[in-house]
Amino acid sequence: MTAGSPTARATPTERAMLARDLVEAWGAGDLDRVSGRIAWYRDPLTDGVAGPDLTAHAQRWRDALDPGGWQVLDVAEGSASVALTWSVEVTHRGRVLGAAPTGRTVTLTGTDVLTDDDTGVRVVRHLDLPALADALDHHVVLRPGDTDAQRFGSASRIPVDSDAEVGALALTWLGVRAESEADDVDRLSVEVFRALRASKGFLGAVTVDIGDRKYTLSAFDSLDSVRSVQNRAHRRAVRRFFSGRLCSEAVVTTWAAASSARFRRCAGCDDLVPADAATCECGRPAVRSALL
């Protein structure tokens, strides 16, 4: 059976043999052999591809999840289709499901359902993507779609255990041009924040990713502490931007505190506790939390 030409209907046994052969070819990286024998293919990350598009799609999967040996777990033969269940150990080396590479090695399990008609073999691959995300230590979150008036994204918080008052905020946003560039920014950010946590006057930060923008809001005890940020990772990131090798644009602004009000509710009696109080009037210790 070939992908693009009419063919006689295969027997269940022939479909089962083809399913095994395709898994073997996929595992060996012989992707032209895969696309040459499939007329149409679909998995959770594509609505359907064939020919060179299938070869490119399969290569993206292999680049993101570098596979070891594939193992056939079960083959169920039906009168019109065959279902082959497989497992493979993969190493997370590229962005998948929005997750930047972690280097983790996990076991991926899926089922390929093969049918054939006058156009050739059709394959639908079923994968448990939420389980894969959990294995990569990423959790699936339902996010609304963007509207004309609002954009949605994801956020993280870098806390610092300090009782100091916030005296200044630094806001940075970067424009990224591709997922690979976003991954570079994320890696640099990890190094910058690791160094910042040990910096004098740093009180925490929040990062927000929305579309092609990456925002960082950092809190410091004073403007002098902001000006003194000169860690090596930060200098390297700045050099990469000005050398033209990172991001399409950048905005950096610093704000001094003009006013501040803090309200805390006692977990014991529900009364509001004054910001500078160590205990509530009911005697329960007041719990102070960081701004960021």
Question: Helix, strand or coil for residue 73?
Answer: strand
Q: At what angle do helices 232-242 and 179-196 cross, to 10 degrees?
A: 150
Q: What is the tens place of the pLDDT at every residue in 63-87?
A: 999 998 889 999 999 888 999 999 9
For residues 100 and 272, the model is more confident at: 272
- How is the chain split into domains, by residue range? 12-135, 154-260
The model's pTM is: 0.74
pLDDT band, very low/low/confident/very high, at 8 (cuts 50, 70, 90): low
Residue 101 has pLDDT above 90, yes or no: no
Q: Please tell me the number of Cα atoms within 13 Å of 60 on its side-chain side.
A: 12
Q: Which two tokens stand for residue 290?
A: 């960081």
Tell me which fold the domain 154-260 belongs to: Alpha-Beta Plaits (3.30.70)
Q: Please tell me the number of Cα atoms within 13 Å of 157 on its side-chain side.
A: 7
d(CA 9, CA 61): 30
Closest residue by Cα to residue 37 from 57, 51, 56: 51
Residue 2 has pLDDT above 50, yes or no: no
CATH of region 12-135: 3.10.450.50
Closest residue by Cα to residue 223 from 261, 173, 258: 258
**Strand runs labelled E in 119-185:** 120-127, 154-159, 168-175
Q: What is the tens place of the pLDDT at every residue in 110-125?
A: 999 999 888 889 999 9
d(CA 169, CA 223): 8
Cβ neighbours of residue 198 under 8 Å, at least 6 residues apart? none
Which residue blocks in the chain are alpha helix, DSSP H? Answer: 12-28, 31-37, 51-64, 129-135, 179-196, 223-227, 232-242
d(CA 21, CA 1): 12
- According to DSSP, the β-strands at 105-117 and 120-127 are antiparallel
211: left (phi over 0), alpha (psi -120 to 50) or beta: left
Question: Helix, strand or coil for residue 181?
Answer: helix
Backbone φ, ψ for residue 123 (5° rounding): -125, 130
Q: Please tell me the number of Cα atoms within 13 Å of 270 on its side-chain side.
A: 0
pLDDT band, very low/low/confident/very high, at 1 (cuts 50, 70, 90): very low
Q: Which two tokens stand for residue 60?
A: 């993206």
- Cβ–Cβ under 8 Å, residues 63 and 94: yes
